[in-house]
Amino acid sequence: MQATRIIAIRHGETAWNVDTRLQGHLDIALNAKGLWQAEQVARVLAGEPIEAVYTSDLLRAWHTARAIAQSTEAPLVARQDLRERCFGSFEGKTHAELEAQWPEASLRWRKREPDWAPPGGESLLALRQRINRTVAALAQQHLGGQIVLVAHGGVMDVLYRLATGQDLQAPRTWQLGNAAINRLLWTADGLTLVGWGDTGHLEEATLDERSA
């Protein structure tokens, strides 16, 4: 059975990541650390055979993906269907603000109710369906090859759950680190997990800088 190798990358850090502020579809750029992280993941992937880099069209993902595309010389394609989950009226709020302003809705969000959506937003079921459909469509175009997907924390979470059979409400025991390298395999049967949460390129770069 033919397969497509996928390298899935969450965008670099933003100021709103640090503030635990929900970004959703709001177009927040990378902060200085995020730009550095993008450079590091691009550096370590430079020698990989990559047929295409597909990215969410939001700036934080686009700038991360652009660095990877430049280092690998792979074509860069923006996809709106790789965006983060839409959080509707929750967007722009911190976790603490959500609990204070909408305690009942915040509880339903934290309990990960699959069919519940914030006002004007997207449910987890809808997000999973969108990402599953998008990844399958992209992977089918590159059977036997390798592609990069650059997206968001919610997208990475869905990919992990699809690859491991984890329920949408299962407690998360895996990391969704900014600029971490996650590897999956896609076949007609779906996704399987190859490796997850590799941040060695970020740690090594930090050590190199300290010793310089």
Report pLDDT for 194: 98
Report pLDDT for 205: 61
Report pLDDT for 41: 98
Cα–Cα distances in angstroms (integers) from residue 81 to residues 55, 101, 118, 154, in the given order: 9, 30, 19, 13
Cα–Cα distance for residue pair 49/153, rounded to 1 Å: 25
Q: Give the HSE-up count for residue 125: Cα atoms under 13 Å, Cβ half-sphere.
A: 5
Which backbone phi and psi does 55 adopt, to 5 degrees? -140, 150
Residue 138: name the closest of 81, 84, 189, 178 by CA: 81
Determine, yes or no, domain membership for 107: no
Determine, yes or no, domain membership for 177: yes
Determine, yes or no, domain membership for 143: yes
For the chain, the domain total comes to 1
Which H helix or E strand runs over 158? helix 153-164
Q: Are 176 and 156 in contact (CB under 8 A)?
A: yes
Tokens 């397969």: give the residue.
Answer: 3
Residue 91's SS3 state is: coil
Tokens encoding 8: 């899935």
CA dihedral 21, 55, 84, 91 (to 10 degrees): 40
Determine, yes or no, domain membership for 21: yes
Q: Are 114 and 168 in contact (CB under 8 A)?
A: yes
Mark the ranges of the chain whose per-residue pLDDT is less than 50. 207, 209-212
For 39-67, the pLDDT digits (tens) are 999 999 999 999 999 999 999 999 999 99
Cα–Cα distance for residue pair 183/175, rounded to 1 Å: 13
Report pLDDT for 24: 97
Determine, yes or no, domain membership for 172: yes
Determine, yes or no, domain membership for 102: no
Determine, yes or no, domain membership for 55: yes
Report pLDDT for 210: 43
Cα–Cα distance for residue pair 22/152, rounded to 1 Å: 12
CATH code assigned at 204: 3.40.50.1240
User: What angle (nearest 5°) sits at the alpha carbon of residue 174, between those of residues 33 and 19?
Assistant: 40
Determine, yes or no, domain membership for 33: yes
Active site members: 11, 84
According to DSSP, the residues that pair with 185 across neighbouring strands are 5, 192
Domain span holding position 46? 4-87+123-211
Report pLDDT for 211: 37
Report pLDDT for 204: 67
Residue 61's SS3 state is: helix
